[in-house]
């Protein structure tokens, strides 16, 4: 399908979904639970098909990482939402002040309408379907625009979701950047975007033309900070896992490490030892994921070579390119003390390259973090919970982990989102559910209400109520 045909199709689908929503503004909770159960069953039944499609899109994607980071995540999200939906969707009673009694005050959680979901390539199934879980739970209809970098996954999403839902309920739009741009300009009732910060700014501008509320799940340079009391070898194990999982193509991967000054090389060598143990022989290791495109691979190469040319030391796992059979394999890499003005330290890396820098104590590390954009995640390593919590109190990030990276996003009841340049809004669990409804405030008065007694002309009764109100 050409881009122009895709754009015409999505305009027609939006009109159809809005009409369908008007015809059924409040989808019953039991039907929403059924929608979630169908989605959960789909991922269980077609998980292998999705793993194959994602593997083909990447050129090599670890099936274990797909199972953990994609299928398992969506199944858990759908199940959690289904189990808690009746409570989430119920109206919330609120207290009524004496001056307004008798009466009832409550909040109705009502679906906004049609949600647009723009999903990225790095977790092409999870980041399309997890927001869909929240949208369906809220009673919304949804249109999904997957990334053009993962066309096979996008095609499979289209195929499988069209088998489960009518297109006036859930639809998938395939196409390139022009289609994505037109998609973001549609007058959705809510737009949910996951991707880079620069593109997120453009998405926010496009949505602003329609006053469409947006959730922006972006990225940034998420630091891993090691306190002086924490063993470097112990920290290296989990940081290596978090950094090189999915070859670093994870929005909450540790982007750089700050270690006690003087320990940079020792820590870098420890990270490389752990990477070699987890992913030996990366050329032929099916558990080590490829970079998504030649363009992204070339960008990573340029970043590392720029730092090397500036005098930074580069540690890198061996790679037999002939054996790899894929020119987009980028081996685990550590860069010791890259210049702060280098691309490695200015841009989100989004690949298996870990810069390591020194700090002169946690106050210095906090200053370093705070001088930069708010990160999506921050990881602090300390044997002392008090020390770790004090560091969190001195800094700000979308989410955080103590002594482990990334796992905070797997706790269903924790909100997941950024702050500042790393995003706005959040989802997962009830927070995700609350992204898509409008919380409508309602005050119900009986047929006759005492407030009539303070209508103009104002007199003694008004003065009495005024004293009650002001104390």
Catalytic residues: 217, 251
Distance (Å, whole) CA 311 – CA 242 = 27
Q: What are the DSSP calls for 261-292, one per residue?
A: TT-HHHHHHHHHHHHHHHSSSTTT-TTSPPPS
Q: What are the DSSP calls for 291-353, one per residue?
A: PS-HHHHHHHHHHHHHHHHTT-EEEE----HHHH--TT----EEEES--TTSHHHHS---SSE
Sign of CA dihedral 157, 162, 164, 169: positive
Strands (E), 131-269: 141-145, 170-172, 190-194, 214-217, 223-226, 256-260
Picking from 65, 409, 59, the residue whose alpha carbon sits closest to that of residue 222 is: 409
What region, left, alpha or beta, does residue 186 occupy, with left being phi > 0 and alpha being psi -120 to 50 degrees? beta
Residue 52's contacts (CB-CB under 8 Å, 6 or more residues apart) are none
Distance (Å, whole) CA 366 – CA 374 = 12
Residue 44's contacts (CB-CB under 8 Å, 6 or more residues apart) are 71, 75
Distance (Å, whole) CA 82 – CA 136 = 10
Are β-strands 104-111 and 92-94 bridged in parallel, bridged antiparallel, or unpaired? antiparallel
């Amino acid at each position: 399908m050409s881009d122009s045909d895709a754009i015409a199709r999505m305009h027609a689908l939006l009109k159809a979904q809005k009409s369908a929503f008007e015809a059924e503004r409040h989808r019953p909770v039991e039907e929403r639970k059924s929608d979630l159960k169908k989605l959960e069953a789909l991922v269980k039944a077609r998980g292998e098909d999705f793993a194959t499609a994602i593997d083909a899109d990447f050129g090599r994607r670890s099936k274990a990482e797909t199972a953990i980071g994609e299928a398992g995540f969506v199944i858990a999200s759908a199940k959690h939402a289904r189990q808690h939906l009746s409570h989430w969707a119920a109206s919330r009673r609120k207290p009524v002040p004496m001056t307004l009694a008798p009466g009832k005050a409550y909040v109705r959680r009502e679906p906004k309408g049609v949600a647009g979901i723009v999903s990225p390539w790095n977790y092409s199934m999870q980041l399309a379907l997890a927001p869909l879980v929240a949208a369906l739970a809220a009673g919304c209809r949804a249109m999904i625009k997957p990334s053009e970098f993962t066309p096979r996954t996008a095609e499979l999403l289209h195929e499988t979701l069209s088998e489960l839902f009518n297109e006036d309920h859930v639809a998938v739009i395939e196409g390139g950047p022009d289609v994505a741009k037109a998609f973001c300009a549609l007058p959705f009732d809510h737009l949910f975007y996951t991707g880079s910060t620069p593109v997120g700014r453009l998405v926010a501008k496009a949505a602003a033309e329609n006053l469409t509320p947006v959730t922006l799940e972006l990225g940034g340079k998420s630091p891993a900070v090691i306190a002086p009391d924490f063993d470097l070898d112990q920290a290296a194990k989990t940081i290596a896992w978090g950094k090189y999982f999915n070859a670093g193509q994870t929005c909450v991967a540790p982007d750089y490490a700050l270690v006690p000054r003087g320990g940079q090389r020792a820590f870098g060598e420890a990270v490389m030892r752990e990477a070699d143990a987890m992913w030996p022989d990366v050329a032929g290791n099916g558990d080590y994921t490829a970079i998504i495109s030649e363009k992204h691979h070339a960008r990573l190469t340029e970043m590392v070579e720029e730092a090397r040319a500036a005098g930074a030391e580069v540690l890198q796992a061996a790679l037999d390119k002939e054996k790899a059979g894929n020119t987009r394999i980028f081996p685990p890499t550590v860069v010791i003390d890259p210049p702060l003005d280098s691309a490695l330290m200015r841009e989100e890396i989004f690949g298996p390259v870990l810069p390591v820098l020194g700090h002169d104590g946690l106050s210095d590390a906090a200053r370093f973090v705070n001088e930069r954009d708010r990160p999506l995640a921050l990881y602090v390593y300390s044997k002392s919970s008090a020390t770790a919590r004090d560091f969190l109190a001195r800094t700000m990030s979308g989410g955080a982990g103590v002594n482990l990276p990334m796992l905070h996003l797997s706790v269903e009841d924790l909100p997941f989102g950024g702050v500042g340049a790393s995003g706005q809004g959040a989802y997962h669990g009830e927070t995700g559910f609350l992204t898509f409804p409008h919380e409508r405030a309602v005050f119900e008065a009986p047929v006759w209400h005492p407030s009539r007694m303070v209508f103009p002309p104002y007199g003694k009764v008004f003065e009495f109520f005024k004293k009650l109100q002001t104390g």
